[in-house]
Amino acid sequence: MIGANNSSIARTLIGLNTLVSGAALVIACIAFGTYDRTTSRAGAVRTLSVQAQIVGANSVSALVFNDPDTAGVTLSALNAAPSIVSAGIYSNDGHLFAGYQRDDTIETPRPRLMSSDATEVHRFENERITLVRRIVFQGRPVGSVAIQSDLQELNARQAQYVGMIATVLVASLIAAMLMSWLSQRAILTPIVQLAGVARAVSNGKDYSVRVPATTRGDEIGTLTHAFNDMLTQIQERDTSLHEAQHALETRVRDRTAELESVNKELEAFSYSVSHDLRAPLRHIAGFAGLLQDQAKATLDEQGHAHLRKIAQAAKRMGQLIDDLLAFSRIGRGHLTSRTVHLQDLVREAWLEVTSEQGVAGRVIEWQVAELPDVTGDPAMLRLVMVNLLSNAVKYTGPRPKARVEVGATRDVHGETVVFVRDNGVGFDMQYAHKLFGVFQRLHSSDDFEGTGIGLANVRRIVHRHGGRVWAEAETDRGATFYFSLPAKEHG
């Protein structure tokens, strides 16, 4: 039995079959009914024509010898035909010679004007047939006979035929519906099974179910086999995917454990750098200072220069250690994400940079556009702006009038893109890939101070925020550094 969920398909098939069968039967019945009506009327006309010929032949002598009584007797023979309601014999001038009426309420039919070459005419009107035929004797017309018949017998025949047609039509439609129901079960059963399996696969993601096998060689059988083959392939791929996912999860756990071990080793290394390396550096710097003080009178200028270089190298090494530790902490620190007023943050960073780098005596044109609010860690984003602004101030040092510009735009993806542009010495774009690496420098440390950690910190912080960093520049024509931040989340 077809389920309720699939009754619409069954009803559609039954309805279509019934509609087609019914339409064919109706067209056939209309055609047969039209044919029967035409042939029945033609038969009635032929019957009246024969009767008119008989009456005319038997009335010739009465017309020739002017004997209306004999003609009346001839017409009275029409009483044997119950369908004849009236008749009349007329002379050539159209006067009634003799007449017949089945009852007094019926008038004798009048002869219809005929052309000179016509022998007989008939007409249907008012549910009656009227036929007029010439009476000819020795090649000359001597009068005419008119016979009028009702259509009761013909109508009764038509009604009987319509009833028969209706009965046959109803019986045929019932038979068509029954045959459609029986046939559509054979067609729909595998389709219903196929739909049930598809629903189970879709809802439960169970690729182990199969449509019951069939030996049919038609399109439905082909579809069933193809669907089962597809499920087999999906099940195999799903199994492989689960195995690969399990292997990947195992690998991730192993890698995570290894990473945690490496992080612990890195923390131990950081502790060692922070304590074990700082002490020797302090000793080098301290003893170099003591030596310079105690041997001040005995050392020549070259000796003092050597001691100053030792002290500067120790100080630079300490700065490198501090920067490396800061870089390590940035990668491990926890991000505190909240709304950051970028305008205020840039102003604070600028004040810090100009106070630390000592820009007294320099002419710096400072341009800051309207900056939007962003979402991120305020302390880390502040460090990004400090590094970028510090770079801009440092590399515009040779310019008599430095220009530093800060702005922001929105890209098509909704990200906020912040840029810092300067008119400094710039750099060659073929080395741009080295900009954000640790200890990577594109200019000599003798020309510009620095450890090469600042831009690496910028990249790490921006990446942790889900953004990107890049730069554009021309040698001796300034540089522009960009970083993007994802669209602000509205709570």
**pLDDT(229) > 90:** no
Please report the pLDDT score of residue 482 as a whole number.
93
**DSSP E strands, 256-372:** 338-341, 363-368
C-alpha R_g of the chain: 58
Averaged pLDDT, 201-229 = 73
Please report the pLDDT score of residue 490 as a whole number.
45
Cα distances from 327 to residues 139, 353, 455, in angstroms, run: 137, 19, 10
Distance between CA atoms of residues 458 and 323, nearest Å: 13
Which residues have CB under 8 Å from 170's CB, separation 6+?
Answer: none
Across the chain, mean pLDDT equals: 79
Please report the pLDDT score of residue 225 as a whole number.
77
pLDDT band at 261 (very low <50, low <70, confident <90, very high): confident
* Percentage of the chain lying above the pLDDT 70 cut: 78
> Torsions phi, psi of 313, nearest 5?
-65, -40
Distance between CA atoms of residues 340 and 466, nearest Å: 16
Distance between CA atoms of residues 482 and 405, nearest Å: 12
Averaged pLDDT, 465-470 = 89
pLDDT band at 268 (very low <50, low <70, confident <90, very high): low
Bridge-partner residues for 422, per DSSP? 404, 479
Bridge-partner residues for 479, per DSSP? 422, 473
Q: Among the ranges 133-142, 295-304, 481-490, which has the highest mean pLDDT value?
A: 133-142
Averaged pLDDT, 9-34 = 77
**pLDDT(191) > 80:** no
Which residues have CB under 8 Å from 264's CB, separation 6+?
Answer: none
- pLDDT top residue among 243 and 434: 243
**pLDDT(224) > 80:** no
Beta carbons of 384 and 399 less than 8 angstroms apart: no
Please report the pLDDT score of residue 1 as a whole number.
41
Please report the pLDDT score of residue 288 as a whole number.
73
Q: Which two tokens stand for residue 159?
A: 């009604």
Which residues have CB under 8 Å from 51's CB, separation 6+?
Answer: 78, 81, 84, 147
For the beta carbon of residue 226, count every other beta carbon within 10 angstroms. Answer: 10
Which residues have CB under 8 Å from 90's CB, separation 6+?
Answer: 96, 97, 111, 143, 144, 145, 146
pLDDT band at 165 (very low <50, low <70, confident <90, very high): confident
**pLDDT(2) > 50:** no
Please report the pLDDT score of residue 421 as a whole number.
93
- Express each pLDDT in 101-116 by its tens digit: 888 777 777 776 666 6
Q: Which two tokens stand for residue 64?
A: 């020739």
Please report the pLDDT score of residue 82 as a whole number.
84
Please report the pLDDT score of residue 332 as a whole number.
57
- Tokens 């900009």 appear where? 435
Distance between CA atoms of residues 368 and 384, nearest Å: 16
Helix (H, G, I), strand (E, B) or coil at 365: strand
pLDDT band at 345 (very low <50, low <70, confident <90, very high): very high
- pLDDT top residue among 176 and 383: 383
Find the range with the poorest average confidence among 125-129, 145-149, 220-224: 220-224
Q: Which two tokens stand for residue 63?
A: 């017309």
Find the range with the poorest average confidence among 76-80, 119-123, 160-164, 173-177: 173-177
Distance between CA atoms of residues 433 and 124, nearest Å: 106
Distance between CA atoms of residues 263 and 266, nearest Å: 5
Helix (H, G, I), strand (E, B) or coil at 31: helix
* Percentage of the chain lying above the pLDDT 90 cut: 9
